[in-house]
Structure 1
Amino acid sequence: MATSGPVRATSGSPIPAKRYTKGDRTKERIVDAAAELFSKSGYLAVSLRDIAGAAGLTHAGALHHFPGGKDELLMRVLERRDQIDADVLFDEHLDAWDHLDQLLHIVERNAMTPGLVALYAKLSNEASDTDHPAHTYFRRRYEILREHFAGILGELAGDRPGPRPDPDAAAQQLIALLDGLQTQWLLAPDTIDMRGRLIDFLALLGIDTSRWESDPG
């Protein structure tokens, strides 16, 4: 797979677009296999041999591309997904309303990717063990999300009259809601409306949700 079109230097001379090597494509295939198996069975129940087999490689072949083994693959899977979310969720050019728009879009996207939702649900639960290789990753991830959402909710709360919810507490509640909804949705996808319940929660915080209630996404 190659990026499309040339990239041009400041001088105007064309620089060929970077192309993935055979090794790059193999690594992507291994990461894809790891993501699928982790989402189905969790991290602990999957071996590097399982991942290698799913990717059409030997155990030694997988180790050649990922010398750090299963731990390295786990972090690669998590980092790849975070790169996608960070581009839309943490854009510094967006205002508080735009950030909430992006959060709604992510929830809508998650409803179409049950495998990835299951991956995060399983791994975040497993990673509560301090010896889990993703423990620090998830602890830091939640710290970043709490700070991010507290800033957004605090900014919007400043626009409303009357008592205002504590932004830090509201951010914790928001994340707990999202995690809990995802687990319930995985168990009963035809019953749980993640987007709708998120909008309901924002309304309880005193946020004007009319901009989303008329938009099914």
Structure 2
Amino acid sequence: MTLRRERPRLPAAERRRQIIDVTTRLIAERGFWGLSMQDVADGCGLTVPGLLHHVGSKDGLLLAVLDHRDEADVRSLDEAIGDASSAREICAALVRRNANQPEIVRLFAVLQAESLTPGHPAHDYFAARQQKTLEGFARLLKDLTPDPDGVAVRIAAMMDGLQVHWLRNPAEIDLVAQWEAAAEMIFRDLDPPTGG
């Protein structure tokens, strides 16, 4: 007689959230190419066919994770930025927010690097995301510099680079302090003069 393993039945929305959470953690640890559908299924108490019922495919699972992260990012970004209005204040708010979510930063850093390969399922997603980020920074800088596009690239590169160093050695690198030092160099000639 074969014993059937009991799997907890969760409402569809709760199950999907569980799948996304487990997948997010696994991709942050292993990257997309190291992600096993069996490991995701095991982490959720499902069979692989049960997992596929919810996400369709491995590519579909990745896109579901990215969509979920985008929705969460919009909410947390609004909270993080608050009343910040200058480019420097907004960048500092972004860095402070990221310093409090290393697993999400790791997820994006790993996927961003992997997706440089044109055949990666998130290649187009990250290309569009980068373009949107650079355009957003350039808009904030348009009245501060004759080269807002160039400065936007430098800001994004500095943020990305500091985050990678911080993820590799969080005990020794203070992301927020390092960003503030870098921002001092980047924004030194861009900040409007203060009264006095």
Query: Which TM class, normalised by the smaller chain length?
Result: 0.7 to 0.9
- CA 1:122 to 1:71, structure 2 compared with 1: closer, same or farther past 3 Å? same
Give the match for residue 140 of structure 1: 128
Query: What secondary structure does 1:45 align onto?
Result: coil
Shift of 1:89: 4.5
Which of 62, 68, 90 is 1:74 aligned to? 62
Q: Give the length in aligned residue pairs.
A: 181
Q: Distance in 1 between matches of 2:124 and 2:19?
A: 23
Partner residue of 1:39 out of 11, 14, 28: 28
Instruction: Give the helix-richer structure, 1 or 2.
Output: 2
Q: Which residue of 2 aligns with 1:172?
A: 153
Partner Cα separation in structure 2 for residue 86 and residue 207 of structure 1: 27
Change (3 A) 1:87 1:165: farther
1:214 equivalent in structure 2 = none
Note closer, same or farther for the CA distance 1:106–1:95 as it changes in structure 2 (3 Å cut): closer
Q: Secondary structure at the match of 1:128?
A: coil
User: Which range is displaced more, 114-123 or 193-202?
Assistant: 193-202
Any idea what the Cα deviations from partners look like across 1:81-101, whole Å, max 9, x if unmatched? 22222345479x97742x643
After superposition, the CA RMSD in angstroms is 2.6
| Aligned partners of 2:166 and 2:173 also within 8 Å | yes
**TM-score, scaled to structure 2:** 0.82
From 5, 13, 20, the equivalent of 1:24 is 13
Choose the corresponding residue for 2:50, options 38, 43, 61: 61
Deviation of the 1:198 alpha carbon:
2.6
Aligned residue number for residue 3 of structure 2: none
- Is the CA contact (8 Å cut-off) linking 1:88 and 1:102 kept in structure 2? no
1:89–1:103 CA contact under 8 A, matched in 2: no
2:72 aligns with one of 73, 81, 84: 84
CA distance in structure 2 between the partners assigned to 1:90 and 1:132 by the alignment? 30
Displacement after TM superposition at 1:45 (Å):
0.6
Q: Among residues 94, 97, 100, which one is paired with 1:106 in the alignment?
A: 94
Contact kept, 8 Å, 1:185 with 1:193, in 2: the verdict is: yes
1:119 aligns with 2:107: yes
Q: Which runs of no fewer than 5 residues in structure 2 stay unpaired?
A: 1-9
Matched, 1:194 2:175: yes
CA distance in 2, matches of 1:22, 1:102: 38
Shift of 1:114: 1.7
**Hey, what's the Cα distance between the residues in 2 that align with 1:153 and 1:90?**
19
Structure 1: segments with no counterpart, 5+ residues: 1-20, 158-163, 212-217
